[in-house]
Amino acid sequence: MTAKSWRINELGLPWEKCLVEDLVLPDVPEQGCRVQVEATDLNFADILQCEGKYQVKIDPPFTPGMNAAGTVIEAAVDSGFLPGDRIVGPTFEGFGGYAEEALVIADRSTRIPEGVATIDAAAMNVTYGTAWFGLHLRGDLQPGQTVLVLAAAGGVGAAAVELAKLHGCWVIAAAGGENKVKTCLEVLGADEVIDYEAENLYERVMTLTDGRGLDVIYDPVGGGYFDVARRLVAWEGKYLVIGFASGGIPSAPMNHTLVKNYSIIGVHMGGYRGRDDKPFDHCYAELYEWLEAGKIHPLIDTTVGFDGLADAMVDLYERKTRGRVMFDPRL
């Protein structure tokens, strides 16, 4: 049997290079599951991978979509899952989530609790997982600390705002444009919001903190924002490097870290796989507990099917979206 897939046969921008094709998936690999896709989160990393610019490179042809959520159709004997189980997890290279069916890596996947909608599990999986690893595991976040989240209305940023607030921190959100500022205040519950399209980020933060600066900075943007934000770190503060959505990879003047005794900390959640898997169990146990209790609310901007996937990717690339953009092949 074949399944519709958004297939890239030549590296480049996915909305220019991807075509919908009928694909026959290979046999389920060891520690794998064939999943009927019900939700896939659109990620900036997927765009980079289609261009051949992501750190993990795949030769075409392949189906992008690093993660997928849905119902297991077929499972390897050693997978720990059975047909009918709802799971969310990373996909095998080449057979990603922008499709009706995907091959999912079983030992890196999570069973979705009965009371959680599949789309919410998919929306939460990477963004809140990254925020948890960044703030709690790497950042050792403490209640009462002052936290700045850059790109706070985006998927990764929105998750960080919610988790930092849940942990009892005072959160400053930085976002671009009136609509995103409104989202940070009214939906995500940030204590203060800075519109860095209209305000001076450095001056505003220093005013809000009475010149002290920030205990923790959560930066998924990189580029020129790093040079501004690093000067805002307080004595013995922590600068969490989440990613480089701006496309620019900054360099740090190490004398500045020496003078202020602050730490620049990399956050690569996937890097723990195979090195130390225990934090994943702790992470997702807490996240699902909070989700079921209504303490966190994954922000979903829109959900599209195959017909809307290219335009949604463009919007994501141009930073027009808030929270997560989701794909559902059944639409």
**Number of H-type helices and E-type strands within the chain:** 10, 15
Q: Is the peptide bond before 143 cis (omega within 30 degrees of 0)?
A: no
Q: What is the pLDDT along the chain (331 residues), one digit of tens a residue?
A: 799 999 999 999 999 999 999 999 999 999 999 999 999 999 988 998 999 988 789 999 999 999 999 999 999 998 999 999 999 999 999 999 999 999 999 999 999 999 999 999 999 999 999 999 999 999 999 999 999 999 999 999 999 999 999 999 999 999 999 999 999 999 999 999 999 999 999 999 999 999 999 999 999 998 888 999 999 999 999 999 998 877 778 888 888 888 899 999 999 998 888 899 899 999 999 999 999 999 999 999 999 999 999 999 999 999 899 999 999 999 9
pLDDT score for 319: 87
Q: How many CA atoms lie within 13 A of 67 on its CB side?
A: 27
pLDDT digits (tens, 9 = 90+) for 160-171: 999 999 999 999
Among left, alpha and beta (phi > 0; psi -120 to 50; other), residue 167 is alpha
**CA-CA distance, 77 to 28, in Å (whole number)?**
10
* Annotated domain spans of the chain: 3-112+300-327, 127-270
Chain-centre distance for alpha carbon 33: 23
Helix ranges, the chain (H): 14-17, 44-51, 118-132, 155-166, 178-182, 201-208, 224-229, 254-260, 278-292, 306-317
pLDDT score for 54: 84
pLDDT score for 253: 86
What is the DSSP track for 136-180? IIIT---TT-EEEETTTTBHHHHHHHHHHHHTT-EEEEEESSHHH
Pairing, β 18-23 against β 300-304 = unpaired
Among left, alpha and beta (phi > 0; psi -120 to 50; other), residue 294 is left
Q: Encoding tokens for residue 59? A: 């030769």
**CA-CA distance, 161 to 188, in Å (whole number)?**
7
CATH homologous superfamily of 3-112+300-327 equals: Medium-chain alcohol dehydrogenases, catalytic domain (3.90.180.10)
Instruction: Name the CATH topology of 127-270.
Output: Rossmann fold (3.40.50)
**CA-CA distance, 194 to 53, in Å (whole number)?**
31
**CA-CA distance, 237 to 141, in Å (whole number)?**
11
| Bridge partner list, 266 | 241
CB within 8 A of 260, min separation 6: which ones? 233, 234, 235, 236, 237
CB within 8 A of 29, min separation 6: which ones? 76, 92, 103
Nearest to 53 by CA among 64, 42, 39, 67: 64
In this structure, are residues 304 and 326 in contact, taking their beta carbons and an 8 Å threshold? Answer: yes
Dihedral of alpha carbons 220, 225, 230, 231, sign? negative
pLDDT score for 123: 97
pTM listed for this prediction: 0.93
**CA-CA distance, 19 to 10, in Å (whole number)?**
10
pLDDT score for 176: 93
